[in-house]
Amino acid sequence: MAKVKYYYDSEKLAYRKITPKKRKKFGFAALFIVASALFGFLSFVVLLNVPYFKTPNDRVQQREIENLRLNYSILNKKLEQLQVVADQMADRDNNLYRTYFNTTPITEEERKSGYKNNYVALQGYNNSELVIRTTKKVDVLSKELAIQSKSLDAILKLAEAKQDFLASIPAIQPVQNEKLRHVASGFGYRTDPFTKARKMHEGMDFTAKTGTPIFASGDGIVARADNSASGFGNHIVIRHGYGYESFYAHLSKYKCRAGQRVKRGDIIGYVGSTGRSEAPHLHYEVHKNGKVVNPLNFYYGSISAVEYVAISNAANQENQSLD
């Protein structure tokens, strides 16, 4: 029941009932209806546009999208790592295998041309850029690997016809180096341990204990096993044929003699520190047609592509040599 209000009439000395005007009542009612409608409309707009009000399905979809983005990010990193390995394989293919067999190198444009695809079907989505970028990487890498596979098939056919040639190439590390920890200094300019001057280091130094076996890196004939070369102490020279020679220095003792025929992997001597040497190690060189070349380019017979990257990083550090 609505409350009844009264006022005191001082002229008639009596209380009179207050009767509200109908127009005023209607005005308040209309104002209330308009305000309620406006509030309801604004609430509807907010619910449509504010992301905090999501259905359970919306939340599930959002989590799935975030997981997909994370998986794509991880996939991109793995693709980048695979691309590094593929590039190393391509480098060895062109500069080692194809050089050996006098075969035309495969250009970088041929390897990285990718597929002719504008990826129209992947456009127009929220994450299109991420998906297209990843798909392009997969396509380019797939083509590179397909080209590399065909190249290796061709090299294999050439290799079968040149087994003697391949056996003669100095293609393994001359000391046991399974964990790749024995590379002390590589080919290139290094600091001389005695004069501290920067000079050309024409081989690779492998650290090892005195008496560690040294292996012939390829088939050939021992041309020299003496200490006639100044500064190298006891050393061995193997002539492999086809213009190749390998050189082993600072030995403690020999296990071969001049004129002896050796096979790749035969023990020819033992590590020492004779001659101009700072510590027990093997100084190893490879010569091609009378010129020194980087031995690192010839280790295809004993290490994988990934190991090649690791030993390359160690050998390319500009440090102090041991001789």
What is the full DSSP assignment across 165-208?
A: HHHHS--S-SS--TTS--EEE-SEEEE-TTT--EEEE-SEEEE-
> Average pLDDT for residues 117-131, to the nearest whole number?
74
Residue 285 has pLDDT above 70, yes or no: yes
Residue 54 has pLDDT above 70, yes or no: no
> Average pLDDT for residues 122-132, to the nearest whole number?
75
Closest residue by Cα to residue 246 from 212, 223, 279: 223
Query: Residue 117's pLDDT band (boundaries 50, 70, 90)?
Result: low
Query: Residue 320's pLDDT band (boundaries 50, 70, 90)?
Result: low
Closest residue by Cα to residue 145 from 320, 313, 305, 318: 305
CB 182 within 8 A of CB 212: no
Alpha helices, H only, the chain: 22-49, 56-92, 98-100, 108-112, 128-161, 163-168, 305-315
Kind of pairing between the strands at 244-254 and 234-241 = antiparallel
Choose the weakest-confidence range: 41-55, 189-203, 301-315. 41-55
> Average pLDDT for residues 290-315, to the nearest whole number?
76
Residue 60 is predicted with a pLDDT of 74
- Here the tokens at position 46 are 């907010």
Query: Residue 210's pLDDT band (boundaries 50, 70, 90)?
Result: very high
Residue 298 is predicted with a pLDDT of 84
CA–CA gap between residue 106 and residue 241 (Å, rounded): 27
Query: Residue 321's pLDDT band (boundaries 50, 70, 90)?
Result: low
Other CB atoms within 10 A of residue 255 CB: 16
- Higher pLDDT: 315 or 167? It is 167
Residue 50, phi-psi category: left (phi > 0), alpha (psi -120 to 50), beta (remainder): beta
Instruction: List residues bridging with 16 in a β-sheet.
Output: 7
CB 297 within 8 A of CB 94: no
Closest residue by Cα to residue 308 from 112, 86, 154: 86
Per-residue pLDDT reduced to its tens digit, 101-114: 777 888 877 777 65
Residue 72 has pLDDT above 80, yes or no: no
Per-residue pLDDT reduced to its tens digit, 244-263: 999 999 999 999 999 999 99
Residue 316 is predicted with a pLDDT of 67
Residue 249 is predicted with a pLDDT of 93
Residue 22 is predicted with a pLDDT of 58
Residue 222 is predicted with a pLDDT of 97
Residue 26 is predicted with a pLDDT of 62
Percent of the chain with pLDDT over 70: 79
**Coil, strand, or helix at residue 291?**
strand
Please, which residues have CB within 8 angstroms of residue 60's CB and are 6 or more apart in sequence? none
- Here the tokens at position 300 are 């295809």
